[in-house]
Chains A and B, each alone.
Chain A
């Protein structure tokens, strides 16, 4: 038991993964992607195996799925559960993380739960949500929450705990009240790390969204992927994989954008 308590996850380091905007030469990633697409095309045409259609055909499939209007409704359904799930994760994770960072008793009450949720493969809980919510949206939203909520809570907790105590002391000695300390010292000081948590949380939320949809297979991009894979329609499956990649990168980039606007002073 005591080992579990100590087994808190390492504080998240700013991973290179957090950076989508090219550093330095902006054209390098573009060239890399173009070369990759070309290699895919050539390899597919040279080998001619059924499970590797050429890039151009996959892109064409994505285009025709979109123009037939099949994508939009499922994309909206996916983004809806992503948005609701991420919103719930924020509403639960930010206050709980802040309380854990400020008050020891909150920390002791919750730290073990956050750790074991972070460690465990969240998708195994999908069948549990299924027994509670059935085929309704609740199952998919629940999975998203379980993917995003623990990391947001954990990062917020560390962010609040790491606020420089000397700054708080100084603010106190210059006569700042609790409110002022909270709004002028603690909140700004904890913001960069909290935002890093949101970014990681969004990445995980997208994964939760797709995994949940693959499991329930009723609506959304995941369900669509399931449908085409059951029909062994490789082109459309790969087209959807491409789309999911684009959605994931954009969702994380959106959080990045907020992050840069809120914490421009920290760099």
Chain B
């Protein structure tokens, strides 16, 4: 991806590439298996035990309901972040005063560990869906605003000036230049935001609200079911990876379209 000279991968190269990729995975699993199988620990499962537990969770269906409960907060919170964050980012990018004023807040919020605020939300709303939605929202929304704004800012000034000199209205500038030009950055922001939304979801459930996959993990930890605990974690990671990959596919499409448009 970052190679500067595009070149065709030769067959032997592909063999090396995939051999090494799968090899390191294999080596990791082997190391996991070998380092844990003689421990006979309740909390440190072997790779084989974890794989079996994973199958159990999926085939018996124990995982689906907690996963659905967790994902409710994720879905609503993420939708709210996108619905509020993107328009706000667009607005900020065009109103200079608002931007200069809010800049410092965005920068501070971007580095602040939002997790520290979780106790406060639980105090206000109790261990409810609302609290979890708000937590997902605050985890996600800042990065979406920042990336949207960066996208609009990145649009070439000359295009806007030209459109203006040809008598384009503000609306036309938005529709024809600013929105299409900033779309790739906006979608990139949505992708990073999604990752953060997952963090918010898991963290809120692990810390204070005992529902969903977070509760399942704590339950398995409490009952010393290490294999089920590890399997649940793997499933959450898998879900995050699959969702991110889906968004990345979308991103790839808009990117190819954006480069067509600018060519």
In contact, A131 and B236 (Cβ under 8 angstroms): no
A120 and B237 contacting across the interface, CB-CB below 8 Å: yes
Residue A105 at the chain B interface, CB threshold 8 Å: yes
User: Which of B23, B108, B113 has its CB near the most chain A CB atoms (within 10 A)?
Assistant: B113
The residues of A that contact B166 with a CB separation of less than 8 Å are none
Interface of A is mostly: helix
Bound CA span A7–B1, Å: 10
Kindly identify which residue among A5, A6, A16 contacts B150, using a CB–CB cutoff of 8 Å.
Answer: A16
Cβ contact within 8 Å between B119 and A225? yes
Residues B1 and A8 in contact, CB atoms below 8 Å apart? yes
* Interchain CA distance A232-B217 in the complex, whole Å: 26
Q: How far is the CA of A222 from the CA of B206 in the complex (A)?
A: 14
CA distance A32 to B97 in the complex (A): 11
Contact B108 A119 (CB under 8 A): no
Given contacts A29-B103, A51-B120, is CB(A120)–CB(B240) below 8 Å? yes
Are B221 and A127 interface neighbours, CB within 8 A?
yes
Q: Which residue of A lies closest to B218 (CB)?
A: A127
Give A94 Cβ to nearest chain B Cβ, in Å.
18
In angstroms, Cα B208 to Cα A215, docked, is: 10
Q: Nearest Cβ in chain A — how far from B28, in angstroms? A: 8
- Asked if B207 CB lies within 8 Å of chain A CBs, one says yes
A105 to B23, CA, bound (A): 12
Asked whether B244 lies within 8 Å of A128 as measured between CB atoms, the reply is: no
Binds A, one of B80-88, B171-179, B226-234: B226-234
Q: Which residues of A contact B188 (CB under 8 A)?
A: 10
Distance of A224 from chain B, by nearest CB (Å): 10
Return B193 CB to nearest CB of chain A, in Å: 12
The residue in B115, B146, B149, B244 that gathers the most chain A C-beta atoms within 10 A of its C-beta is: B115
CA distance A19 to B107 in the complex (A): 8
Q: How far is the CA of A245 from the CA of B207 in the complex (A)?
A: 20
- CB-CB under 8 A from A170, the residues of chain B are none
How many residue pairs at the A-B interface have CB separations less than 8 Å?
Answer: 188
Q: Which of B111, B117, B195 is A252 in contact with, Cβ under 8 Å?
A: B111
Decide if B44 is an interface residue (CB 8 Å cutoff): yes
Query: Quick check: B43 and A131 within 8 Å, CB to CB?
Result: yes
Give B20 Cβ to nearest chain A Cβ, in Å: 4
Mark each residue of chain A from 196 to 230: 1 if its CB lies under 8 Å from any CB of chain B, else 0.
00000001001101110011000001100110111
Q: How far is the CA of A5 from the CA of B131 in the complex (A)?
A: 36
Contact between B123 and A203, CB atoms less than 8 A apart: no
Interface string of A229-254 (1 = CB under 8 A from B): 11010100110110011001100100
Chain B residue contacts of A59, Cβ below 8 A: none
Known: A123-B202, A206-B111, A207-B113. A3 touches B245 (CB 8 A): yes
**A158: chain B residues within 8 A (beta carbon):** 2
Contacting pair B113 A244 (CB below 8 A): yes
Measured CB to CB, the closest approach of chain A to B16, in angstroms, equals 6
Asked whether A121 lies within 8 Å of B202 as measured between CB atoms, the reply is: yes
Name the A residues within 8 Å of B1 (CB-CB): 6, 8
Tell me the A155-177 residues at the B interface (CB within 8 Å). 158, 161-162, 165
User: How far does the alpha carbon of A33 sit from the alpha carbon of B108 in the complex, in Å?
Assistant: 11
- What residues on B are CB-neighbors of A121 within 8 Å? 195, 198-199, 201-203, 236-237, 240
Q: Which residue of the partner chain, among A4, A22, A109, A131, contacts B24 with CB atoms under 8 Å?
A: A109
Q: Mark B92-132, 1 if CB is under 8 A from A, else 0.
A: 00000000111111111011110111111011100000000
A-B contact pairs, 9 of them (CB 8 A): A4-B241, A19-B107, A105-B20, A121-B203, A121-B240, A123-B199, A126-B206, A161-B2, A245-B108
- Known contacts A15-B110, A116-B237, A131-B229; 5 additional CB pairs below 8 A are A8-B1, A17-B106, A119-B244, A121-B203, A127-B229
Give 9 nearest A-B pairs by CB, closest first.
A229-B119, A29-B104, A210-B113, A131-B43, A121-B199, A121-B198, A108-B20, A207-B113, A120-B237
Q: What is the interface of chain B, defined by CB distance below 8 A to chain A? A: 1-5, 13, 16-18, 20-21, 23-25, 28, 43-44, 100-108, 110-113, 115-120, 122-124, 146-147, 149-150, 188, 195, 198-199, 201-203, 206-208, 217-218, 221, 226, 229-230, 233, 236-237, 240-241, 244-245, 248-249
Contact surface of A with B, Cβ cutoff 8 Å: 3-8, 10-11, 13, 15-17, 19-20, 22, 25, 28-29, 31-33, 35-36, 51, 104-105, 108-113, 116, 119-128, 130-132, 158, 161-162, 165, 203, 206-207, 209-211, 214-215, 221-222, 225-226, 228-230, 232, 234, 237-238, 240-241, 244-245, 248-249, 252
